[in-house]
Amino acid sequence: MKFIPLSLIACSLCLGWLFGEKAQASVTVSAPILPGVLDRAHGEPGPYNILLNRIISTSEQRVEVLFSPSSRASKYFLEGQAQCLLPASHQHLPDADASVVSEPFNKANIYIFSAEGAQGYKTLSELAGLRVSMRRGYLLNKAGVAIPDSVYFVRVNSIEQSIGLMDHRRIDAFIAYTPDAFAVFKQSGRTEFVYHPGTPLTQQSEHVVCHDTPANRKFIEDVNQVIQQVLAEKQFAKALAELEQGAAVSRSE
């Protein structure tokens, strides 16, 4: 009778564990909390939740999502506490050669919103001498937007805070991304803000971006397949359109 050494049995069990489900590779995705767009809510999913949920359910890797406020979400990615960031634009790439980027899944516009009855603003130069709020983490200069010294900026933590400042007449306008702003307007029932839909300050393609490793390159391949599927199914575009329609913000041309 031939005996198999216990060490060999243990090694075989170890290899089985390593290549089994328990050793499934994982990727941590940092995700900013964007109410109505991408969040932890258990109700109707926001547009970006549709994409994220599909990625989680179809990826060959186990996907762990780290939700946090916007400025912190970027920090977690840049400092390496998360391998990937969703959504992300070119301004989040400290080194393009060290990052791998998915296909774009949406275009985020940055607009200037002003109070009901006020004029709509197309450029920051029109805001000279005025008080303007925008969320911490907005890097307009890296998005190619010139920042005039004559504008008085107030940093806030959320679009909701900008609305509160507007209500108390502490600011004259605020800068915000869409679809984020549309989701907040829809949820709060605020429809009075004026903006120029055809003239954003800038437009940025949104992607999933990861630090460049072999595992993350494979993950991005999976993500690209999901993006193609989700965009082809039209559910994603419909959810985005419903946000804008539900916001019903005043348009100024």
Q: Do domains 26-107+204-246 and 108-203 have the same CATH topology?
A: yes
Per-residue model confidence (pLDDT) at position 117 = 78
CATH topology of domain 26-107+204-246: D-Maltodextrin-Binding Protein; domain 2 (3.40.190)
Question: Could you tell me the CATH superfamily of domain 108-203?
Answer: Periplasmic binding protein-like II (3.40.190.10)
Of the chain, the percentage scoring pLDDT greater than 90 comes to: 42
Single pTM value for the model = 0.80
Per the listing, tokens 């634009």 go with: 89
Q: What is the pLDDT of residues 105-162, one digit of tens each?
A: 999 899 999 988 778 889 888 989 999 998 877 766 556 566 778 888 899 988 999 9
What's the CA gap between 80 and 78, in Å, rounded?
A: 5
The token duo for 196 is 């120029």
Task: With beta carbons less than 8 A apart as the criterion, state whether 36 and 46 touch.
Answer: yes
pLDDT at 57 over 70: yes
Residue 11 Cα to chain centre, angstroms = 44
Among candidate residues 66, 64, 55, 77, the one with its CA nearest the CA of residue 33: 66
Average pLDDT for residues 71-82, to the nearest whole number?
Answer: 89
The token duo for 104 is 């774009």
Q: Give the domain ranges of the chain.
A: 26-107+204-246, 108-203
- What confidence category does residue 6 fall into, taking pLDDT thresholds of 50, 70 and 90? very low
